[in-house]
Amino acid sequence: MKITENNVVQQIQKKNEHAIPFIINQYGGLLTAIIKRHLNYHQQDYEECLDDVLLSIWNYIHSFDPTKNSFKQWIAAIAKYKAIDYQRRQITIKNQQFSVPDINESMIKAKQSSEKILVDELLDQLPASERKIFEKYYLEGTPSSEIAKEFNAKESWVYNKLSRGRKKLKGFYFKKMKCEE
């Protein structure tokens, strides 16, 4: 079935994964503008936040109420509040500024430096399949659609694994940093 502005909500409710690319194509400019305005155009933060916005739309579509606002307004509000949440989660560790999603950028930099051990230690916290997904997406730059095909899964499953993996790694990373203080 072809996805349109009139049926996108129903398609997401039916968990039709083709609705996500439609949202990106149809509303991507709007979401990008909102997120980048709040995140000061940091590419890594933007990408992580957009992933979380799409995952929130997917997971919370049941809370959309067309009598209160349009779908476009609803997803714009999700993008705004997710971006604000990212801003709020900025913390300072040892006089170095990290935003929560920057752990991936830190991992990439560490992979290229003497801190490779930290990256391996972080990735060892994940089960083998999640580690492979993380390495492909963040270190090799493989698109989520290709990863989904490789694992014979839906693209939303990949986003879910990445989101859960980030939470695990953030918790471990910040505990480790706190112990080293």
Q: Which tens digit of pLDDT belongs to each residue from 92-118? A: 333 344 444 445 545 544 444 444 555
**Residue 93 pLDDT:** 31
pLDDT tens by residue, 8-46 = 999 999 999 899 999 999 999 999 888 888 776 556 677
The SS3 call for residue 66 is coil
**Residue 180 pLDDT:** 55
**Residue 133 pLDDT:** 87
What tokens does 41 get? 């155009």
DSSP 102: G
pLDDT tens by residue, 68-88 = 989 999 999 999 988 888 766
Question: Residue 53: what residue type?
Answer: V
C-beta pairs of 48-54 under 8 Å, 24+ apart in sequence: 48/86, 48/101, 48/104, 48/166, 49/79, 49/82, 49/83, 49/86, 49/101, 50/79, 51/159, 51/162, 51/163, 52/82, 52/163, 53/78, 53/79, 53/82, 54/20, 54/23, 54/24, 54/159
In whole angstroms, what separates CA 125 from the centre of its chain? 19
Q: CA-to-CA distance for 15 and 126, rounded, in angstroms?
A: 27
Q: Which residue would you say has higher pLDDT here, 110 or 65? A: 65
Query: Residue 137: which of 124, 117, 151 has the closest Cα?
Result: 151
Tell whether the model's pLDDT for residue 181 goes beyond 70: no
Region of poorest pLDDT, from 58-62, 63-67, 95-99: 95-99
Q: Which residue would you say has higher pLDDT here, 128 or 75? A: 75
How far is CA 179 from each of CA 32, 40, 93, 120, rounded to the nearest angstrom?
Answer: 37, 31, 12, 18
% of the chain at pLDDT higher than 70 = 72
Q: Are 86 and 102 in contact (CB under 8 A)?
A: no
Q: CA-to-CA distance for 87 and 115, rounded, in angstroms?
A: 26
Structural domains in the chain, CATH included, are 8-88 (1.10.1740.10), 91-180 (1.10.10.10)
> Once rounded to an integer, what is the mean pLDDT over residues 54-71?
91
